[in-house]
Amino acid sequence: MALSLTTAQRKSASVRSGAPIVRLRNLSKAYEEAGAQRMVLQALDADLYAGDFIVLLGKSGSGKSTLLNLIGGIDVPSSGEIWINGTNLTALNERALTLFRRDHIGFVFQFFNLIPTLTVLENVSLPFELQGKPRRDSERRARALLERVGLAHRADAYPDRLSGGEQQRVAIARALIHEPLLILADEPTGNLDEETGAKILHLLLALTRDEGKTLIMATHNPEVVPLADVVYHIHEGKLVAGPRA
C-alpha cells in the first residue's frame, strides 16, 4: 500500500511558532561493554517543534531507540541536556522522571506491550487512571478513543484475541488517552505486514494531527520520509538533518 498524505493531514513547517517543545543540547550516550565504553550518540543538538511529525532514520543499532528512550525519560544520558516544554529532564531524579513520563509522554512500541491480563478497555484506560483520574472519566475517554480507532466493539476482549494490527490500534489509543505532550513511536509498524503497517501509520499520524500532538518516530523504513515534517538521520552516533523527500 502506497504511503501518502492528504493536504489536511500534512502540517506545513510555516505554521511553526514559539519555542521548541524538545531541545537536545550536547547530548551523548555511551554504554559499558566488556570493560570499554561504546559511544552510541555523540554531542547531539536539535530543536523539535510542537505539532511536527519527526522521523528518526537509521539502520538497526544506530541509536534510534536509544534517542527515543532518552527523550522519553526511560534512559539517562551520559552527558548533555534534554529539555521538554521547559523542563530539564536531566535535572530530575528517578521519581520525578517517572511522574513526567506518566503525565507527558505516550509510547507506541513495535511489540505493542499490552498487558495480557487486562481487557482492551482496561489497557487503554490505564495511563489515565495512573494519573489519579476517576474510573468513570477514564472509561469514557477510553471508549471514545476505541471508537476512533475502530475497536469499540472489542472493548471487553483480551489482547491475545486480537490481530497484530488490532493490538497496535489499542496501543495507539493507550498512548493518546492522557493527552501527552509527545508521542514516541519505536518502529510501530515493524511487526506488521506491509498493508496493515501502512494503515496503522496513517491512523497514528491522523490521530496525532487531530489531537495536536508532536509525534517522534524511529524507523528504518524510508517510505515514511515523505509523510514527515522533519527528518533526521542517525549515522555513526551523529544526528544529521535530511530532506523530507
Q: What string of pLDDT tens digits covers the 245 residues of the chain?
A: 444 444 334 444 434 557 899 999 999 999 887 778 889 999 999 999 999 999 999 888 889 999 999 999 999 999 999 999 999 999 999 999 999 998 999 999 888 889 999 999 999 999 888 888 888 888 999 999 999 899 999 999 999 999 999 999 999 999 999 889 999 999 888 888 888 888 888 888 998 888 889 999 999 888 888 889 999 999 889 999 876 54
Provide the sign of the torsion angle of the four alpha carbons 185, 189, 190, 192, taken in this order. Answer: positive
Provide the sign of the torsion angle of the four alpha carbons 18, 224, 141, 130, taken in this order. Answer: negative
| All structural domains of the chain with their residue ranges | 51-77+93-242
Predicted TM-score of the model (pTM): 0.88
Model confidence pLDDT, tens digit, residues 37-59: 889 999 999 999 999 999 999 88
Phi (first) and psi of residue 222, to 5 degrees: -70, -15
Burial 148-183, CB ≥16 within 10 A → b, else e? bbebeebbeebbeebebbbbbbbbbbbbbbbebbbb
Q: Residue 91, Cβ neighbours under 10 Å: how many?
A: 11
CB 184 within 8 A of CB 82: no
CA angle 120, 126, 129 (to 5 degrees): 140
- The reply to whether CATH 3.10.105.10 applies to domain 51-77+93-242 is no
CB 212 within 8 A of CB 36: no
Phi (first) and psi of residue 223, to 5 degrees: -70, -15
CA angle 82, 87, 88 (to 5 degrees): 40
Euclidean distance between CA atoms 213 and 14, whole angstroms: 17
